[in-house]
Amino acid sequence: MADYEIPKVTGETGKLAVPAVEHDTMKGTGPWISKPHFQKEMHFPTDFEQIGGTTKYTLVDNWKERALDKLDDLRTRYRSLQVYLDICVKCGACTDKCHYFIGTADAKNMPVARQDLLRKVYRRYFTFAGKYFPKLVGAVDLTEDVVDDWYNYYHQCSQCRRCSVFCPYGIDTAEISMAAREILDHIGRGQKYCTEIMGKVHKIGNNLGLPQAALADTLEGLEEDVEWETGAKVKFPLDKKGADILLITPSADFFAEPHVDGLMGYAKVFHQAGLDWTLSSYASEGANFGMFIGSYENMRRIALRIRKAAQDLGVKRIVFGECGHAWRVAYSFLNTLAGPFDFLDPKYPVPQHVLEITWPLLQAGKLNIDKTRNDDKTLTFHDSCNIARGTRMGDKPGGQFDIPRNVIKAVCNNYVDMNQDTTHDATFCCGGGGGILTDDLMEIRVKGAAPRMEALKNVTENQGVTHMAAICAICKSQFTKVIPYYGFTMDQIVSVHQLVSNALILEGQLEYEKIERDEDDFY
Amino acid sequence: MILGTVFGVLFWVATLVLVLGIANKVRIYWKTPAPLKIPTMPAPVTQRGVVWRMFKEVVFFQSLFRASKPTWLFAFVFHMSLWLVLFRHVRYFQDPVSSIVLFMQPFGKYAGFAMILGLAGLLIRRIVVDRVRYISAPSDFLMLVLLIGIGATGLMTKFVVHTDVLQVKEFFRGLMLFNWQPLPSDPILLIHLASVAFLMLIFPISKLLHAPGIFFSPSRNQVDNPREQRHLAPWAADLEAQGKIYPDDK
């Protein structure tokens, strides 16, 4: 299946042993490089070119000076970067916490070593000790080899922030890797996957480049599917002016499995609760790849589409679907980037997560649930990294852990948690977050999934777990792609609202099902 | 008397470098905006909660405890002992010595041993654990050696070759008022004092900045309230006020 070794998972403990340090096991050329015309749309420099007949690119003119200028610019605009570059004491607390290090054993995948790729250059050019005693403090000159290492290893970080949980100073490698990618974008080393996708959002409104008509078609198809299954006319409104709720969801929800089952779940919940909602074709994307590349400007540009859609449609609230990074940008950044939202109904937080709608409805008994409809499954829950460590749900800290679990338990009879060192704020990333979910990075994706696979195997073998629920489009896409490498099957990954959808009984559904059964018997 | 003058100047310079150097760094951290809300969640939802979170980090090293028990043990023993030892040294600057400082003398005295044990543990870990060895620069080892040296020479002046501590006290009390006093010429004492001065000199240009820096770490010092309060950096507000998406927009 692959020309590299798949990490071994036994499922014995649910937690993989920390490997001995190896060198350069994941050295490489990194993901595909972004062409100048993609960079242009992002307002990044374009004075670099493909080296004839190869997949390689030159760097921009005066790249070294411009890289250092950018680093200097960023450290004066981001306190996180300045403080984190200065204060690491190399205690090693983070060294065994990264899923990519555990899966690859490559020394440069230890969080502090990854930070050091940039920190060593910072020290060399911006600190007294590094300027005059570089060898003593491990400072290095900025060379093309260093740039290659940056490009390679900063694209082996999913910005999941697990390391920052364990750092005694909270040093967040995600902040460093975002800054590094921003610098790389300014010297001709953008990542094609991210910039190409963002170009589509800027132009069309979603990562897929799905135009209004195609989206309307897709939604119509979903209405038919739900009606065919339940007999109920559940609407998937698009661009409906004056609706109460604008639903922003990752575009993967429109077509990918199991994402789309989640979208049907939201629609059924809204339908049964009598909520007036709509999608927007202008802002038909929850994901915001601007965060991955550390570009405040591009992230804001995408976020402002949501503000405009909300204003144009005249909605009262904004609700986000199941998407990890989208929820981080929404919960933590949206007010900053595209606020203030004083034109929305002040009774509701802006924005809300769809689980913050579903859970209170379940508690109030407003959804007609038949839990036995999920009795063919035993569930576990994968805490998505960006939701767990970058956001909250509800009004209490930790709601991001409890609310999804509460919802699952309210619609399923069988639920088991994985090894506690791999859940809640200690959760392991799926291996595909932060701009890594691209085919040219398959090896790191497969290896980075190993810690989660071990935890999953532990509960499947010992506690009869059959399915793992997730609330992130990237987690769902990543897992369906990589779990076959570990002996699982794609359909073992489910959306949380898919489970809600299974158990939710709509008006007239039972009668409809009976007629269908009778007809089947008849033929 | 030459010795007294040399060390007097050295300590004045070291103190100025330490204070001004840290003040400068704190000024930089302070004025550099944090444009986005990035507390590591779950995070406190009130400012008081943040103070409590920071207290647990600074006093008990909560995150390190979760990360690695041996590192936590060595680091905790070292830092807490260091506080006791530093407190004990207040007697060189006070006359009469306050009762609390007097009371703490014996604790401070033996804390010196604990401090060295903690540091030794950290040094051994840095050498033995392959991951920590890989991330260590020469300065990371030397920093521990320097601290062990300071602790060892300090203990020697107490337990091995007695120093005229009254004279040392005269020296430091005089120094505070620019009243230069002689210093005993014990080599051990001089190594101890020179090492301390060196540590003070490198403090603002080294990883010792973790001490003031942690208070400025956005992942630990921010309140989780982005939905309730709009958080906007001055440079982002400028961009917004100019109606621009990108700084290079016309």
What CATH number is attached to the domain comprising A155? 1.10.1060
Are the beta carbons of B35 and A388 separated by less than 8 Å?
no
Kindly identify which residue of chain B lies nearest to residue A401, measuring between CA atoms: B42
Q: For residue B71, which residues of chain A lie inside 8 Å, CB to CB?
A: 91-93
Give kind and range of the element (H or E) at residue A277. strand A277-278
Q: pTM for the full model? A: 0.96
> pLDDT digits over B100-155, tens only?
999 999 999 999 999 999 999 999 999 999 999 999 999 999 999 999 999 999 99
Are the beta carbons of B214 and A170 separated by less than 8 Å?
yes
Q: Are A24 and A470 in contact (CB under 8 A)?
A: no
Q: How far away is chain B from the Cα of A138, in angstroms, using its nearest Cα?
A: 5
Q: Are A32 and A193 in contact (CB under 8 A)?
A: yes
> pLDDT digits over B172-198, tens only?
999 999 999 999 999 999 999 999 999
Share of chain B above pLDDT 90, in %: 96
Domain check: are A172 and A206 in the same one?
Answer: no
Domain check: are A186 and A227 in the same one?
Answer: no
Kindly identify which residue of chain A lies nearest to residue B30, measuring between CA atoms: A79
Q: How far away is chain A from the Cα of B158, in angstroms, using its nearest Cα?
A: 30
pLDDT of residue A516: 87
Domain check: are A64 and A103 in the same one?
Answer: yes
| A12 lies in some domain | no
Say whether residue B91 is in contact with chain A using an 8 A CB cutoff: no
Q: Would you say residue B232 has pLDDT above 60?
A: yes
Are the beta carbons of B232 and A89 separated by less than 8 Å?
no
List per-residue pLDDT tens for chain A, 523 residues long: 568 999 999 999 999 999 999 999 999 999 999 999 999 999 999 999 999 888 899 999 999 999 999 999 999 999 999 999 999 999 999 999 999 999 999 999 999 999 999 999 999 999 999 999 999 999 999 999 999 999 999 999 999 999 999 999 999 999 999 999 999 999 999 999 999 999 999 999 899 889 999 999 999 999 999 999 999 999 999 999 999 999 999 999 999 999 999 999 999 999 999 999 999 999 999 999 999 999 999 999 999 999 999 999 999 999 999 999 999 999 999 999 999 999 999 999 999 999 999 999 999 999 999 999 999 999 999 999 999 999 999 999 999 999 999 999 999 999 999 999 999 999 999 999 999 999 999 999 999 999 999 999 999 999 999 999 999 999 999 999 999 999 999 999 999 999 999 999 999 999 999 998 888 777 6
Q: For residue B126, which residues of chain A lie inside 8 Å, CB to CB?
A: 92
pLDDT of residue A1: 53
Are the beta carbons of B64 and A116 separated by less than 8 Å?
no
ipTM of the complex: 0.96
Q: For residue B219, which residues of chain A lie inside 8 Å, CB to CB?
A: 80, 161, 164, 170-172
Domain check: are A218 and A87 in the same one?
Answer: no
| A448 lies in some domain | yes
Domain check: are A179 and A202 in the same one?
Answer: no
Output the 3-class SS for chain B. CHHHHHHHHHHHHHHHHHHHHHHHHHHHHHHCCCCCCCCCCCCCCCHHHHHHHHHHHHHHCHHHHHHCHHHHHHHHHHHHHHHHHHHHHHHHCCCCCCHHHHHHHHHHHHHHHHHHHHHHHHHHHHHHCHHHHHCCCHHHHHHHHHHHHHHHHHHHHHHCCCCCHHHHHHHHHHHHCCCCCCCCCCHHHHHHHHHHHHHHHHHHHCHHHHHHHHHHCHHHHCCCCCCCCCCCCHHHHHHHHCCCCCCCCC
CA atoms within 13 A of residue B240's CA, in its CB half-sphere: 14
Kindly identify which residue of chain A lies nearest to residue B70, measuring between CA atoms: A93
Mean pLDDT of B84-90: 96
Tokens read off for A518 = 């009778």
Question: Of A509, A494, A496, A232, which Cα lies nearest the Cα of A362?
Answer: A496
For chain A, the domain total comes to: 2
Domain check: are A310 and A335 in the same one?
Answer: yes
Residue linked to tokens 């559940």: A234
Give me the residues paired with residue A50 across strands.
A57
Distance from C-alpha of A82 to C-alpha of A71, rounded to nearest angstrom? 10
Q: For residue A88, which residues of chain B lie inside 8 Å, CB to CB?
A: 207, 210
Best residue in A332, A343, A403 for a mutation probing chain B (most B CBs within 10 Å): A332
pLDDT of residue B105: 94
pLDDT of residue A3: 83
pLDDT of residue A392: 98
Domain check: are A258 and A377 in the same one?
Answer: yes
Question: Of A211, A209, A260, A269, which Cα lies nearest the Cα of A235?
Answer: A269
Q: How far away is chain A from the Cα of B224, in angstroms, using its nearest Cα?
A: 8
Q: For residue B202, which residues of chain A lie inside 8 Å, CB to CB?
A: 129
Classify residue A428 by its DSSP letter: P
Are the beta carbons of A83 and B218 separated by less than 8 Å?
yes
pLDDT of residue A519: 83
Tokens read off for B231 = 């958080």
Give me the residues paired with residue A379 across strands.
A415, A467
- Is the backbone peptide bond immediately before A258 cis, with ω within 30 degrees of 0? yes
CA separation (Å) from B69 to A41, A98, B96, B125?
49, 18, 42, 12
Domain ranges of chain B: 2-26+58-221
Are the beta carbons of A95 and B44 separated by less than 8 Å?
no
Are the beta carbons of A77 and B227 separated by less than 8 Å?
no
Q: Which CATH superfamily is domain B2-26+58-221 in?
A: Transmembrane di-heme cytochromes, Chain C (1.20.950.20)
**Most distant CA pair in chain A, distance:** 88
Domain check: are A202 and A186 in the same one?
Answer: no
Q: Domain ends where: A141, A169, A190?
A: A190
Domain check: are A242 and A181 in the same one?
Answer: no
Q: How far away is chain A from the Cα of B191, in angstroms, using its nearest Cα?
A: 22
Domain check: are A309 and A375 in the same one?
Answer: yes
Strand, coil or helix: A22:
strand
Domain check: are A304 and A366 in the same one?
Answer: yes
pLDDT of residue A10: 96
Are the beta carbons of B248 and A20 separated by less than 8 Å?
no
Distance from C-alpha of A25 to C-alpha of A39, rounded to nearest angstrom? 30
Give me the residues paired with residue A369 across strands.
A504
| A425 lies in some domain | yes
Domain that holds residue A175: 36-190
State the count of interchain CB pairs (< 8 A) between A and B: 217
Give kind and range of the element (H or E) at residue A452. helix A450-463
Q: How many angstroms separate the first and last alpha carbons of chain B?
A: 68
Are the beta carbons of A129 and B206 separated by less than 8 Å?
yes
Q: Are A222 and A263 in contact (CB under 8 A)?
A: yes
Domain check: are A158 and A293 in the same one?
Answer: no
Give B 29-68 residues with CB within 8 A of chain A: 29, 32-38, 40-45, 57, 61, 63-64, 66-68
Tokens read off for B242 = 């100019």
Q: For residue A136, which residues of chain B lie inside 8 Å, CB to CB?
A: 137-139, 142
pLDDT of residue A403: 98
